[in-house]
Amino acid sequence: MATLEKIGNVLLVYGNDVYGDGYRGKLRNFLYSQATHSSPVRKGTHDFWITYPVPSLGIDQWAYEDLSITPRKMRGIIRMVMPNNSNLATIRRHIHVILQEVGHHWLVPRKLKIKTNGTVRPLPKNDEMTRQINDEADFDGPLLLARGNIHWSAYFQADASPMDGQYYFDMGMEDGYKRWKWRLFPGPVITPPGLDRLQLMGAYNDLDLYIMGVKKAYEAYSQNNGRFYWLEPRLAASLPYHIGIFVAFSKYDFYYFGFYRNHWTLGVQRTAGQITTVDIGTDYRPLAHDYNGVALRVVRRGNQYYFQARYDNPLAGCLAGVLKAFFPRTTRLRVPRLFEDLDSLPQPDENGTFDRFSTVAILQSDDRPEAVGLIVKKSDHPHLAEGAFFNLELLHNGKHTIFFTDDVPDPLPAGASPANIPPGEWRLHNPTGDAIIKSKGVRLHIIAPFSTVNKDGALEHHPPKHFDHSKDTDNAPKILTKAPDGDFAFGTSCKVHRTIFTPWAAGYAKNRVLWGKEKSARVMDIVVPDEIINEKQPPPPANTYKIAFIMVAEKRSDITNEMIERVDMIRRYWDAAFEAVTIGRRHSNSVL
């Protein structure tokens, strides 16, 4: 039989019949039994149990809600991982996690709906949102839900809600798109008696408090006339990607040239080598026109390779561009002036402009190139990277070959090398099969998504390196043709069309800048599920939730005095924190 021990305001429960896999169910059964009739924590005595298995038995998690229990409803038995120290920074993060796990009693309801034009509709779920992002389709509702559809989206101005909420600073408009920058949130400051001052990482936002029943609709977001905001994302920076062109010397040995980590920086790199970068200046405005891009070219002279770029819009001011929009199959365009000024190739100039071709870097290699082409690669999972390419053009021995981008090339057969590609043709190499390649207008779009929706409608998240190219990985989608012998030049007009981190990005959004179309809705149009309104919103007696802090172990000797003191410190900070984040309208009492 397990043993109970009360140390101050922390309950210890130990024994091999309560500790182990499924310990929360075992603990509940034990504390609900007649054998614990004198325990300060029993059936119906507390709203939440905050439990710490020692050693840890899994990640932080809320579960075991049972609203039928009386007189106090069982609102959740929470599993927490014991922090390994009592530093204020550690305690601060830990309190934030408890706020999330306790918050799951109310938040974020996957059945949340919104009234739009008189029609009540559910919010887009993660699979719908992912499909719409991959297809570049219109979103069919506010982008509020994320991880598991029970946390807030990273596109929502969530004021650092503990429910994965992010906080953004509004940096104004840029060519028709709102720009938000991630910021630390100035959370409430608490100073429980006898403890140091602590500033919280965040607080329940007004939408949280409305769903919890703490605020009325007319009170929420009063500074914004009752409206909350989100972005329909287009670009994010900085992210680990490279979008542009390449020269291949072997399967794992490339020169990469193009946009590096954001849509205003160009980078030149050999696989696993040093990166040379240059910002292309504020005159480049990719959002001002859909075809504003950068002409990228590589010029080979002997064993030297010149990597050059200039501003480009292949359609702007061009009658052929207008014709192309209406007659895409009868009018074919070239990248304007792609091979101008080849007789005089300048040295790199850090003060140079990109109104004409400017040299970003010069690299030297005696290796024979095998292929050239277009590439999108990314070295991490939680974001989409999409490049838009207008033509791949090649100049060799005075012959100008144009690979037009109004059709997707045939795939490169499995196991085939670039040497097998017939002269004057190019091939698609999609190693994982998961990149999305499509022709749109006059450009080819190569998309490396963060996730896809399979034929069964389930989300499949791609692992890190799934679209990478490195010294031992060949997963990046690319379109390539055989490299000619001797001197040559090739290039394209390239644009970072979209870069979007996942809606469930949470901490991945930290320090990023996000561009998108700002949208808003009224709190009064949010439809909270009936079970929350009827069963969870009504406050407890005296607006005070009873919270029990419990440590669970197999042996008493596993629980040290230092651990007990740490949990008690957390407990004291918790009571003050919960009151602060519920604007003093709800309280926590963790005294046993």
Distance (Å, whole) CA 156 – CA 176: 19
Q: Are residues 404 and 491 in the same domain?
A: yes
Count of other CB atoms within 10 angstroms of residue 265: 16
Is 336 contained in some domain? yes
pLDDT single digits (tens) 9-50: 999 999 999 999 999 999 999 999 988 888 999 999 999 999
Q: Please tell me which residue, 303 or 417, carries the higher pLDDT value.
A: 303
Q: Are residues 23 and 45 in the same domain?
A: yes
Is 507 contained in some domain? no
Q: Which two tokens stand for residue 572?
A: 């004291």
CA dihedral 374, 380, 384, 389 (to 10 degrees): -10
Q: What is the DSSP pairing of strand 383-396 with strand 399-403?
A: antiparallel
Work out how many domains the chain is built from and give that number: 3
- What pLDDT sits at residue 586? 98
Mean pLDDT of 205-212: 98
- What pLDDT sits at residue 507? 87
Q: Which residues contact 388 (CB under 8 A, 6 or more apart)?
A: 293, 440, 443, 444, 445, 494, 495, 496, 497
Q: What is the DSSP pairing of strand 76-79 with strand 48-54?
A: parallel
Mean pLDDT of 520-536: 97
Q: Are residues 229 and 244 in the same domain?
A: no
- What pLDDT sits at residue 1? 84
pLDDT single digits (tens) 532-560: 999 999 999 999 999 999 999 999 999 99
Q: Are residues 440 and 575 in the same domain?
A: no
User: Does the structure show a pLDDT above 90 at 319?
Assistant: no
Is 125 contained in some domain? no
Is 78 contained in some domain? yes
Is 121 contained in some domain? no
User: Does the structure show a pLDDT above 90 at 317?
Assistant: no
Q: Are residues 442 and 566 in the same domain?
A: no
Q: Please tell me which residue, 317 or 187, carries the higher pLDDT value.
A: 187
Mean pLDDT of 188-211: 97
Q: Are residues 415 and 474 in the same domain?
A: yes
End-to-end CA distance of the chain: 22
Q: Are residues 70 and 194 in the same domain?
A: no
pLDDT single digits (tens) 87-105: 999 999 999 999 999 999 9
For 249, 391, 494, the CA distances from 420, given in Å and listed in that order, are 15, 21, 26
- DSSP letter string, 467-501: T-EETTEE---EEEEEPPSSSEEEEEEEEEEEEEE
- What pLDDT sits at residue 316? 61
Is 418 contained in some domain? yes
The model's confidence at residue 328, banded by pLDDT at 50, 70 and 90, is low
Is 119 contained in some domain? no
Q: Are residues 295 and 417 in the same domain?
A: yes
- Domain limits for position 198: 142-236+512-531
Q: What is the DSSP pairing of strand 459-461 with strand 469-470?
A: unpaired
Q: Are residues 338 and 424 in the same domain?
A: yes
Q: Are residues 42 and 59 in the same domain?
A: yes
Select from 29, 18, 93 the least CA-distant residue to 52: 18
Q: What is the mean pLDDT of the chain?
A: 95
> Do residues 451 and 130 lie in contact, with contact meaning Cβ atoms separated by under 8 Å?
yes
**What's the angle, vertex CA 573, arms to CA 567 and CA 574, rounded to 5?**
85
Is 309 contained in some domain? yes
Helix (H) or strand (E) holding 130: helix 126-135
Instruction: Give the torsion sign (CA, 262, 268, 271, 274).
Output: negative
Mean pLDDT of 262-266: 97
> Do residues 359 and 296 lie in contact, with contact meaning Cβ atoms separated by under 8 Å?
no
Q: Are residues 271 and 179 in the same domain?
A: no
Q: What is the DSSP pairing of strand 371-378 with strand 436-440?
A: unpaired
Q: Are residues 257 and 230 in the same domain?
A: no
